[in-house]
Amino acid sequence: MRIAIPTEVKNNEFRVAITPAGVHDLVANGHEVLVQSGAGLGSSLTDESYEAAGATILPDAQAIWASAELLLKVKEPIESEYGYFRDDLVLFTYLHLAAAPKLTTALTDAGVTAIAYETVQLPSRALPLLAPMSEVAGRLAPIVGANAMLKPNGGPGLLVPGVPGTHPAKITVLGGGVAGTAAMQVALGLGAEVTVLDTNLFRLRELDALHFGRVKTIASNSFEIDKAVVDSDMVIGSVLIPGAKAPKLVSNELVSRMRPGSVLVDIAVDQGGCFADSHATTHADPTFTVHSSLFYCVANMPGAVPHTSTYALTNATLPYVRSVAGRGWKEALRVDASLALGLNTFGGDVVNSAVATAHGLEHRELADILN
């Protein structure tokens, strides 16, 4: 199969969809891998390293998209790429379609077979292709939040760990999943006073057992969210409903009662965000003010650490890419029910029910397609 990797074009997106090691694996299995010139430079991966692994370097995006049978990306296509869509293309990337009506329409109008990393789901409900980037975003969240809290950046001038004789920052994490746990661990490492809220009591027991005495765990509901947020210097939102829009847990009115200069980091902004006032920002212009609080809502947070992110992503995606390339997408989905849940659009139809619900559309049954 011809597998193509374009250069990412989203603002300050420096990741690339595969490492040279991943290329070597695919070529060794008989596939042809095409990489756009310069695609890996943002992750410190040269064209020469890809060629040495067996890739063919193509000069531009048009050549890459036109040659692809299977196209691997990191971030969802932006409008300048919609013209490359066609009905015999298999696209495998992060899509987050529930928060992207224009992209959903463009994919269905062109008849693209689009498989989303973020809706591939194991029987345990774990999200194996979202997890590595959730870990990166989670670990970044307290770091970027701590930076936003510096006075020159619009924050209150509060040092997260404090110093002897002063109060450390109070950080509240909404959601105890992969991203929330990663955020909690780094926040604890920074010396903050940390509270985690989640609706899953079993998960809260696990966090308590691992970090007893160092983290406060609270069963999440609107009353407890209100109480914790108002008392926080930083709030990290990391709630996720696979494929669907994130629930809005922090209202504008609640933000109005927070401390002046408080910081809110929305990891869930890819899925619409879990704060009422969230809207996607970029690394070039990452924050905006709501009332007297600072919102950090960068939609591709892991793009700030592309070397780490690219390797972590390839580690997770390569077994699935190998299966799609080796068996063909339809057979790969037939034999792997977890991968099948990644199919979001096919033949002009939306397949994922949560995406269809988000946009008020009908969805086509997965079994109908695979059978």
Q: Which residues are catalytic?
A: 96, 270
Q: Which strands sit side by side in the sheet containing 56-58, from one edge to the other?
A: 56-58, 32-36, 2-5, 70-72, 90-93, 113-116, 343-346, 349-350
Q: Is the dihedral of CA 292, 177, 324, 344 positive or negative?
A: negative
Q: Is the dihedral of CA 63, 38, 53, 308 positive or negative?
A: negative
CB atoms within 10 A of CB 334: 15
Burial 198-236 (b: 16+ CB within 10 A, else e): beeeebbeebeeebeeebbbeebeeeebbebbeebbbbb
End-to-end CA distance of the chain: 23
Cα 173–178–181 angle (5° rounding)? 40
What H or E segment, with its residue span, contains residue 203?
helix 201-210
Question: What one-letter code names the amino acid at 162?
Answer: G
CA distance 115 to 107: 11
